[in-house]
Structure formats: structure tokens, C-alpha cells
Chains A and B, each alone.
Chain A
Amino acid sequence: MPAKKTTPKQAAYQKKVKKYEPKPKALHNAVFAFLSGGTICLLGQALTDFFGAVMGLPPEKAANPAVATMIFFGALLTALGLFDRIARFAGAGVAVPVTGFANSMVSAALEFREEGLILGVGAKLFSLAGSVITFGVVTAFIVGLIHAIFPGG
């Protein structure tokens, strides 16, 4: 909170600015997220078709190696220091697909690398991705229990 009192005129101005300023930026960011996220998903679909054709897998199974490949790309870009540069423009477009999951783990691994392989990398690998896994598993556990208790429901 600012210590200085603002005059009503200043307050009105700030309100006006606040109202007009963030919106165009938000839309701009969202459009970039749309384009980059769409491109990543398009690439993911292409990889799914590729692995489906090469390994003779049905689409549900072929999505697995496609996801692993995207994780590899996310990990590689993070290690090269390029991920953050792309994320500055793409935002959620690279963070919401699995590339972001890979980025959260690799960046934790690199950040704590100097604390050693066991206490640094090993222990801190899930420091960002952990909450996704924890809450995902808790949700799936409850959902699974409901299905186990009421089969066919």
C-alpha cells in the first residue's frame, strides 16, 4: 500500500489507467499463446500419426511416444536456455502442453545441480511438478474409488 494519500483526481486517473492498460496486453499474450500452443498440439498430432504409422500402433497408444518426444523437446530447449526465451512470447502456449511439465522438471534439476546429484537433482526434481502429480493422483484416486464402489457408474 502506498503511504502517500492520493487525491481523488489521481485515484480516478489510476482507476482509468488500470481499466485500459492490461486488456490489450492480455489479448496480445493470449493470441500468442493460441498460436504457439496450437502449433505444439499440431506437432503432437503429427508425431502421433508418425509413431502410429511407423510402429503400427492405434492412436491411443501412439500418443505415448508422441508425448515422450514432446517432453524430450521441452527438456532439450530448457537445457539449452531457449525455453524461457520462447515462453516470454508464448506464455501458456508452451507451459500448458507437456513441454511445460518437462520444463518445470529440467529447470528444477538444473537449478539445484550444484547442490549435488542426490541432494540437489534427485531431491528437488519434483519441486515444481510435484503438486501437479500429487493433486492429479489424489483426484484420480477419489474418481477410481467411486468407480470401484459403484461399478459401471
Chain B
Amino acid sequence: MNWRIYLFAFLVGGGICFLCQLILDLTKLTLGHLLTGLTVLGGILGGLGLYDPLIKLAGGGATMPIISFGNSLAKGAIAEAEKTGVLGVLTGMFELTSTGITAAIIFSFLMALVTRPKG
């Protein structure tokens, strides 16, 4: 364990959220636009191999924001594409993101089961 990654996790993760909040307050973009744009940005950065250095530097500061989701989608697709060609783009797409998507589906479903419907 080193303390530097914690410092950068806080600063980088906080910095991303800082900029996003400014975009929300000062432009007409909604949260939906912003999150979608961040995911696309992550996919492009992942394709260029530029996001992994940030993960190495900031750890959770880079893996927690939704940009990381786009990055993981692209990385999964690329890794399989390089192994098996064009078909790998299809088979590798969700290879790295399946934890997040599966967890989100299961937890949402469970929460819907145990929560009483409102109204």
C-alpha cells in the first residue's frame, strides 16, 4: 500500500466530478448527456491506450468514474480482436465490464423486490 495512490485517487476522482458539475451547471447538457459522453470518451481513450496510465496513477480515482466503463468496453473488445480478429470484437465486448453490469442488474432487481412500491 502506498499513500500516493490515495492522494491521486482523491484528487483525480474529485477533479473529474468537479469538471462534470461545472459542465452540468454552466451548460444545457443533462446528466444523461454527460454520462453518455463520458462513456464515449472512455471508449476513445481506451482505444488510444491513454486511460490505463491514469488508472495506474490514480487507482480508484480513475476506475470509479463512468469513463472507466467505456474504457473497459473498448479494452475487452480490443484484447479479443487482437487474438481472434473481427469476431473478437463481439465476444470480448463485455469481458471486463460484466462484473459491473451483472452486479447492477442483480442489486437493482433485489432492491425492487424488497422495496414496497410507492404510491
- A residues lining the B interface (CB < 8 Å): 22, 25-26, 29-49, 59-60, 63-68, 70-72, 75-76, 78-79, 91-93, 95-98, 100-102, 104-106, 108-110, 113-114, 117, 121, 125, 128-129, 131-133, 135-137, 139-141, 143-149, 151-152
5 A-B contacts, Cβ less than 8 Å apart?
A30-B22, A45-B61, A47-B60, A92-B31, A98-B100
Measured between C-beta atoms, what is the minimum distance from A115 to chain B in Å?
9
A96 contacts which of B63, B66, B108, B114 (Cβ < 8 Å)? B66
Q: How many A-B residue pairs have CB under 8 A?
A: 278
Q: Which of A26, A76, A98 counts the most chain B CB atoms within 10 A?
A: A98
Q: Chain B: interface secondary structure?
A: helix
Q: Please report the C-alpha to C-alpha distance between residue A149 and residue B89 in the assembled complex, in whole angstroms.
A: 11
Known: A76-B111, A106-B107, A137-B93. A132 touches B17 (CB 8 A): no
Residues of A within 8 A of B86 (CB): 145, 148-149
CB distance from B10 to the nearest CB of A (A): 4
| CB contact between B63 and one of A48, A79, A113, A145 (< 8 Å): that residue | A48
Q: Which of these, A31, A38, A129, contacts B13 with CB under 8 Å?
A: A38
- B18: nearest residue on chain A (CB-CB)? A34
Which residues on B sit within 8 Å (CB–CB) of A97? Answer: 13, 17, 64-66
The answer to whether A110 touches B118 (Cβ under 8 A) is: yes
Chain A residues whose C-beta falls within 8 Å of the C-beta of B18 in the assembled complex: 30-31, 33-34, 37, 92
Q: Which residues of B approach A to under 8 Å, CB–CB? A: 1, 5-6, 9-22, 24-26, 31-32, 34-36, 38-40, 42-44, 46-47, 55, 58-61, 63-66, 68-70, 73-74, 76-78, 80-82, 85-86, 88-89, 92-93, 99-101, 103-105, 107-115, 117-119
In the bound complex, CA of A41 to CA of B107 (Å): 20
Enumerate chain A residues within 8 angstroms of B89, measured Cβ to Cβ.
Answer: 141, 144-145, 148
> Taking A75-B111, A128-B32 as contacts, is the C-beta distance between A144 and B81 under 8 angstroms?
yes
What's the Cα separation between A113 and B8 when bound, in Å?
40
With both beta carbons as reference points, the residue of chain A lying nearest to B22 in the complex is identified as A30
Q: Name the one of B88, B103, B108 contacting A148, with C-beta atoms under 8 angstroms.
A: B88
Bound-complex Cα distance A65 to B24 (A): 30
Contact of A113 among B43, B76, B117 (CB under 8 A): B117
Query: Which residue from chain A places its CB closest to the CB of B39 in the assembled complex?
Result: A136
- Which of B61, B88, B113 is the most central at the interface, judged by chain A CB atoms within 10 Å of its CB? B61
Q: Give the contacting residue for B64; candidates A41, A125, A149; CB below 8 A.
A: A41
- Residue contact A29 to B21, C-beta cutoff 8 Å: yes
In the assembled complex, the Cα of A109 lies from the Cα of B106 at a distance in Å of 11
